[in-house]
């Protein structure tokens, strides 16, 4: 029943799209005031998608296995929480969520843009409806979440256990708010370009939407990263996996856009660049969806390898790119009022430098992600591009990037100079001395580390100083930049100080090295609702004789039959102690991995700070 309502709501939603387009076109041509019926219709469409979404949730909660999606991804013994989160833990459901966010955003946009030009609002709605229709058709035609199966099975196939995790329950919605939020930027930029509406006021208005989508994307990536850290059992937080890369690419463009919009707001220059970035953001989000959903990339996000789906997204993507390029080339007019006054030492230049770096990082990641696919198509040679590639190309460029990030905000608009900037040099010397000191003590390779640590400390100290001196002025930017310096420092020290031990142990055995002693004390079994749990007890004794007990866990799920290992992590402010245990088939040995990972909490905290900076900026006006 719920499935049936869900499906028809979807169809109604699609029909409403055409109705909205009809009214919008009429309104666009004939009248000078915004037709309020359109708002109601947009709300109605959003409402129908919500009904459909709840229909799917109810089917999941009731374990209605006549629904194919539920059958494929649920099981009666699954805890209620994961029945609900399982709704978007699969291909069909996650696309329905995507559609939900699309309709939500356009509804909010229409509500929040009352002070804007009528034509601009209507045209944005029209462009957004094109995207919405595309996704409606995609959903109904290739990935209907409400497919009926008969005879009705008694039991479902179950949800992949590694997705049965609280972080992963909220990771997709948050990430989608970021991904799909960029669709509003895309539609409104196209509308503004076609109407030649780009102005300082427009920049101010669109900045909020860029911020919203940027904040959610940042948090979404953070959640995914935290999940990977404790669930995948490798003890890392970023693997340069293609699936991670596709989320980082729109983030880089959004970050560039966020900075560029400031220039537009202040000086009305770089308009073309803003348009290009806005188009690129959504295009990259779509590309990400295509790569992940088509099954080209093999990962946890690939639910079903259905070529038809990939083809549909690809064609749709090409249409959107074609449409936006057409609008860009034929409607876009450059306004040259004060384009000529570009002095080399100014805030504009520093923001441009930021953009250049972002584009460089983007192209590195894009090539690293796409090149293997191309090569496989062309020569059927299979390759993979790993962390060394990215480390080599990105880390050296972080140094000038960090310096630009420190000095850039200190410059004035239009033209600046270095008078009264003595403290900048002073802080540089302090950071340099400090990092030489640290590098010497640690006895690590000198040149690269010293400069990198210096650059990170420099940004760290300067932003810290600004908190005290300027207090609330530029608080948002300062928080985000401070967060970034903290992130780089934490990652650096994390990679320098991390150590790990991998060994195979039987119960009662002990492993010993010069730093600590690991003894495998005992094993304990427990039956949970939908899995059997095996918990090991390990004593770790360090040189000072301090004993710590770690209890990594193995979970044997029955539906589907998969073993997952739950890392045991002892967290404190300075270090994480991380232990995983794996079963090797039919043997008494357990595969043990023990890691000491310093500053992990700080990595999470700094990324949170970065997005918090965005949040401050969003609410600044209202304070």
Catalog residues that contact other proteins under the rule CB under 8 A.
160, 162, 232-234, 298-300, 356, 360, 363-364, 367-368, 371-372, 381-386, 388-389, 392-393, 502-505, 509, 554, 560-565, 580, 582-587, 589, 591, 593
* In the complex, least distance from residue 300 CB atom to other proteins, rounded to whole angstroms: 4
Strands 575-583 and 516-527: unpaired
d(CA 271, CA 190): 12
Residue 167, phi then psi, degrees to nearest 5: -65, -35
In the complex with other proteins, the residue whose CB is nearer, 54 or 389, is 389
d(CA 61, CA 70): 9
* In the complex, least distance from residue 555 CB atom to other proteins, rounded to whole angstroms: 9
* In the complex, least distance from residue 520 CB atom to other proteins, rounded to whole angstroms: 11
Nearest to 477 by CA among 486, 467, 469: 467
The secondary structure of residue 567, as a DSSP letter, is P
Give me the residue label for tokens 């770089």: 270
* In the complex, least distance from residue 396 CB atom to other proteins, rounded to whole angstroms: 10
d(CA 293, CA 99): 15
In the complex with other proteins, the residue whose CB is nearer, 41 or 534, is 534
The answer to whether the beta carbons of residues 381 and 438 sit under 8 Å apart is no
In the complex with other proteins, the residue whose CB is nearer, 233 or 613, is 233
Nearest to 282 by CA among 262, 254, 255, 244: 254
* In the complex, least distance from residue 381 CB atom to other proteins, rounded to whole angstroms: 7
* In the complex, least distance from residue 392 CB atom to other proteins, rounded to whole angstroms: 5
* In the complex, least distance from residue 377 CB atom to other proteins, rounded to whole angstroms: 13
* In the complex, least distance from residue 133 CB atom to other proteins, rounded to whole angstroms: 33
Measure the N-to-C terminal CA separation of the chain; round to a whole number of Å. Answer: 48
* In the complex, least distance from residue 284 CB atom to other proteins, rounded to whole angstroms: 18
In the complex with other proteins, the residue whose CB is nearer, 284 or 296, is 296
In the complex with other proteins, the residue whose CB is nearer, 564 or 606, is 564
In the complex with other proteins, the residue whose CB is nearer, 388 or 545, is 388
Q: Indicate the helix (H) or strand (E) that contains 533.
A: strand 531-542
Calculate ∠ Cα 499-504-505, nearest 5°. 110
* In the complex, least distance from residue 523 CB atom to other proteins, rounded to whole angstroms: 16
Nearest to 596 by CA among 620, 566, 574, 618: 574
Q: What is the dihedral of CA 198, 289, 357, 218, to 10 degrees?
A: 90
The answer to whether the beta carbons of residues 383 and 368 sit under 8 Å apart is no
Q: CB neighbours of 425 closer than 8 A, spacing ≥ 6? A: none
Strands 553-557 and 568-571: unpaired
Q: How far, in Å, are 99, 127, 384 from residue 140 at the CA level? A: 11, 20, 35
The token duo for 33 is 């005031």
Distance of CA 235 to the CA centre of its chain: 20
In the complex with other proteins, the residue whose CB is nearer, 74 or 218, is 74
* In the complex, least distance from residue 145 CB atom to other proteins, rounded to whole angstroms: 21
* In the complex, least distance from residue 533 CB atom to other proteins, rounded to whole angstroms: 14
* In the complex, least distance from residue 562 CB atom to other proteins, rounded to whole angstroms: 5
The answer to whether the beta carbons of residues 109 and 42 sit under 8 Å apart is no
d(CA 427, CA 448): 20
In the complex with other proteins, the residue whose CB is nearer, 191 or 358, is 358
Q: What is the dihedral of CA 133, 145, 213, 243, to 10 degrees?
A: -110
d(CA 365, CA 286): 16
The token duo for 380 is 């059927």
In the complex with other proteins, the residue whose CB is nearer, 13 or 233, is 233
* In the complex, least distance from residue 593 CB atom to other proteins, rounded to whole angstroms: 5
Count other Cβ atoms within 10 Å, centred on residue 544: 6
Helix 307-331 to helix 166-194 angle (10° resolution) is 30
In the complex with other proteins, the residue whose CB is nearer, 39 or 393, is 393
* In the complex, least distance from residue 14 CB atom to other proteins, rounded to whole angstroms: 32
Which 3 state secondary structure label does DSSP give 622?
Answer: coil
Nearest to 532 by CA among 567, 515, 511, 557: 557
d(CA 50, CA 330): 38
In the complex with other proteins, the residue whose CB is nearer, 421 or 515, is 515
In the complex with other proteins, the residue whose CB is nearer, 36 or 510, is 510
The token duo for 14 is 């699609």
In the complex with other proteins, the residue whose CB is nearer, 22 or 371, is 371
d(CA 181, CA 165): 25
In the complex with other proteins, the residue whose CB is nearer, 162 or 226, is 162
* In the complex, least distance from residue 236 CB atom to other proteins, rounded to whole angstroms: 12
In the complex with other proteins, the residue whose CB is nearer, 205 or 593, is 593
In the complex with other proteins, the residue whose CB is nearer, 231 or 466, is 231
**Which sign does the torsion angle of CA 500, 504, 520, 561 carry?**
positive
């Amino acid at each position: 029943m719920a499935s049936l309502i869900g499906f028809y709501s979807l169809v109604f939603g699609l029909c409403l799209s055409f109705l909205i387009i009809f009214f919008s076109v009429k309104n666009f041509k004939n009248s000078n005031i915004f037709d309020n019926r359109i708002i109601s219709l947009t709300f109605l469409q959003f409402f129908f998608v919500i009904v459909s979404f709840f229909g799917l949730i109810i089917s999941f909660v009731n374990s209605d296995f006549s629904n194919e999606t539920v059958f494929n991804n649920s099981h009666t013994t699954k805890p209620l929480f994961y029945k609900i989160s399982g709704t978007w833990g699969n291909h069909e459901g996650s696309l329905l969520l995507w559609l939900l966010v699309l309709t939500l955003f356009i509804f909010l946009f229409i509500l929040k843009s009352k002070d804007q030009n009528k034509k601009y609002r209507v045209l944005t709605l029209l462009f957004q409806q094109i995207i919405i229709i595309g996704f409606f058709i995609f959903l109904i035609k290739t990935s209907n979440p409400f497919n009926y199966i008969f005879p009705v099975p008694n039991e479902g196939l179950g949800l992949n256990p590694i997705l049965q995790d609280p972080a992963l329950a909220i990771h997709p919605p948050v990430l989608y708010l970021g991904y799909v939020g960029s669709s509003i930027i895309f539609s409104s930029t196209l509308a503004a370009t076609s109407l030649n509406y780009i102005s300082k006021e427009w920049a101010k208005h669109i900045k909020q939407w860029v911020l919203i989508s940027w904040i959610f994307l940042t948090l979404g990536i953070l959640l995914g990263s935290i999940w990977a850290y404790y669930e995948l059992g490798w003890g890392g937080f970023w693997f340069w996996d293609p699936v991670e890369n596709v989320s980082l690419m729109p983030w880089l463009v959004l970050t560039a856009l966020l900075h560029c919009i400031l220039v537009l707001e202040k000086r009305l220059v770089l308009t073309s660049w803003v348009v290009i970035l806005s188009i690129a953001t959504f295009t990259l989000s779509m590309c990400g969806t295509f790569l992940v959903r088509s099954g080209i990339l093999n990962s946890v996000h690939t639910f079903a390898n259905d070529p038809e789906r990939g083809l549909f997204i690809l064609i749709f993507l090409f249409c959107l790119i074609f449409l936006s390029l057409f609008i860009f080339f034929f409607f876009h007019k450059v306004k040259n009022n004060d384009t000529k006054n570009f002095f080399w030492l100014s805030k504009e230049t520093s923001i441009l430098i930021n953009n250049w770096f972002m584009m460089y990082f983007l192209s590195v990641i894009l090539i690293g992600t796409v090149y293997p696919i191309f090569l496989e198509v062309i020569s059927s040679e299979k390759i993979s591009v790993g962390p060394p590639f990215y480390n080599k190309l990105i880390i050296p460029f972080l140094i000038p990037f960090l310096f630009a990030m420190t000095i850039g905000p200190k410059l004035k608009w239009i033209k600046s100079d270095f008078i009264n900037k003595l403290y900048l040099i002073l802080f540089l010397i302090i950071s340099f001395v400090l990092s030489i000191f640290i590098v010497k003590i640690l006895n690590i390779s000198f040149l690269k580390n010293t400069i990198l640590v210096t650059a990170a400390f420099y940004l760290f100290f300067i932003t810290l100083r600004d908190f005290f001196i300027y207090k609330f002025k530029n608080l948002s930017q300062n928080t985000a930049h401070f967060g970034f310096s903290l992130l780089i420092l934490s990652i650096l020290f994390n990679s320098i100080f991390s150590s790990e031990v991998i060994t195979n142990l039987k119960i009662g055995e002990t492993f010993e090295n010069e730093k600590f002693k690991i003894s495998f004390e005992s094993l304990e079994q427990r039956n949970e609702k939908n899995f059997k749990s095996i918990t090991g007890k390990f004593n770790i004794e360090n040189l000072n004789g301090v004993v710590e007990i770690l209890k990594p866990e193995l979970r044997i799920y029955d539906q589907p039959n998969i073993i997952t290992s739950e890392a045991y992590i002892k967290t404190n402010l300075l270090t994480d102690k991380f232990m995983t245990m794996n079963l090797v088939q039919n043997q008494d040995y357990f595969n043990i991995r023990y890691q000491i990972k310093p500053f992990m909490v700080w990595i999470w905290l700094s990324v949170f700070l970065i997005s918090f900076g965005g949040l401050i900026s969003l609410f600044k006006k209202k304070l």
